[in-house]
Amino acid sequence: MTPQDLPAERPVDRQPLLHIDILSVLPELLASPLSHSIMKRAQDKGLLTVGVHHLRQWAVNEYGQVDDYQYGGGAGMVMMCEPLARAIDSLQEQAAYDEIIYLTPDGSTLNQKTANSLSLKGRLLLICGHYKGIDQRIRDHYVTREISIGDYVLSGGELAAAVLVDAIGRLLPGVLNDETSALTDSFQDDLLAPPVYTRPVDFRGWKVPDILLSGDPKKVDEWRYEQALQRTAERRPDLMKE
Ligand code: 6GU
């Protein structure tokens, strides 16, 4: 493709489709995942903007304190109400959030349906927890949704937030092109994706299925659908119940 053939870039001075703010005590952890590949393209095109905010800006004292011992005793610190409430109030002055999302292993498990629905929002705030988590009162009075990325425990919410931003960001119209289209992803139709092959046709005697070389697009589509069904039935029968 020559430069003249490239689609015109969306002007970046327009409002993004989605703005995501992230509150974190370890913003460094978020830098790399958000600044490469498709997340970089989404931001370069002005479709997605991400603001990463250090919670320590709203610390309760000059030592940068944002956590404290838990009432009732027990090991582990809890992230205090005051820094979080002040941070949220201050960020919310720009414009109200459609959702304030707390990333936590006891939230509801992220799936494609949730990613699809969040990609239709305009403004999101993600709160990354650390230590034993955040004071319950912030969850009760500010948080509108709690999301986990799976049944295992991470050291903090940052990697989970990066996963969520990626899952949402790639769905914004104009981020992906034909080659990376979200329509053929696993889960987009409750089916896992079929196997894929590229050159060479014969690698160490391991051959590409003949049907993919047939040049018959209808046959290829049927084969891919069959493979997707078979794979889903074998690996994720739970997806096929509906
Ligand atoms: Cl969102 N946070 C943490 N700390 N651990 C997790 C998680 C989130 N999702 C799965 N494990």
Residue that finishes a domain, picked among 112, 143, 169: 169
State the distance from the centre of ligand 1 to the C-alpha of 145, rounded, in angstroms: 14
How far is C-alpha 94 from the geometric centre of its chain's CA atoms?
A: 23
CATH number at residue 125: 3.40.1280.10
State the distance from the centre of ligand 1 to the C-alpha of 221, rounded, in angstroms: 37
Mutation to probe ligand 1, out of 106, 110, 149 (largest number of atoms < 8 A from CB): 149
CA dist., res. 209 & res. 132, Å (int): 51
According to the model, what pLDDT value does residue 218 have? 98
As to burial, measured by CB atoms within 10 angstroms (0-12 exposed, 13-18 middle, 19+ buried), residue 83 is buried
Mutation to probe ligand 1, out of 26, 103, 109, 131 (largest number of atoms < 8 A from CB): 103
Report the percent of the chain where pLDDT is more than 90: 86
pLDDT digits 0-9 by tens, 129-151: 987 999 999 999 999 999 999 99
State the chain's mean pLDDT as an integer.
93
- Residues 162, 226: one domain? no
pLDDT digits 0-9 by tens, 222-240: 999 999 999 999 999 999 8
CATH number at residue 200: 1.10.1270.20
Residue that finishes a domain, picked among 107, 136, 169: 169
For residue 138, tell me if it sits in a domain.
Answer: yes
Nearest-atom index, ligand 1, CA of 110? 9
Give the chain as a DSSP string.
--GGGSPPPPPTTSPPSEEEEEEES-THHHHHHHSSHHHHHHHHTTSEEEEEEEGGGG-SSTT---EEEPTT--SSEEE-HHHHHHHHHHHHTTS--SEEEEEEEEEEEP-HHHHHHHTT-SEEEEEE--TT-B-HHHHHHT--EEEESSSS--SSSHHHHHHHHHHHHTTSTTTS-GGG-GGGSTTTTSSPPPP---S-SEETTEEPPGGGGS--HHHHHHHHHHHHHHHHHHH-GGGG--
CA dist., res. 101 & res. 116, Å (int): 15
State the distance from the centre of ligand 1 to the C-alpha of 54, rounded, in angstroms: 19
Nearest-atom index, ligand 1, CA of 107? 1
Number of CB atoms found within 10 A of residue 56's CB:
15
- Residues 197, 156: one domain? no
According to the model, what pLDDT value does residue 155 have? 95
Mutation to probe ligand 1, out of 154, 155, 163 (largest number of atoms < 8 A from CB): 154
- Residues 159, 222: one domain? no
- Residues 193, 129: one domain? no
Measuring from each residue's beta carbon to the nearest atom of ligand 1, which residues come in under 6 Å? 103-105, 148-150, 152-154, 156-157, 160
State the distance from the centre of ligand 1 to the C-alpha of 160, rounded, in angstroms: 6
For residue 196, tell me if it sits in a domain.
Answer: yes
- Residues 123, 219: one domain? no
**What global pTM score does this model have?**
0.92
pLDDT digits 0-9 by tens, 164-198: 999 999 999 999 987 667 777 888 788 999 999 99
The closest residue, in CA terms, to atom 3 on ligand 1 is 154
For residue 177, tell me if it sits in a domain.
Answer: no
Please state the domain count of the chain: 2
- Residues 87, 207: one domain? no
Please give the residue range of the domain that contains residue 148. 3-169
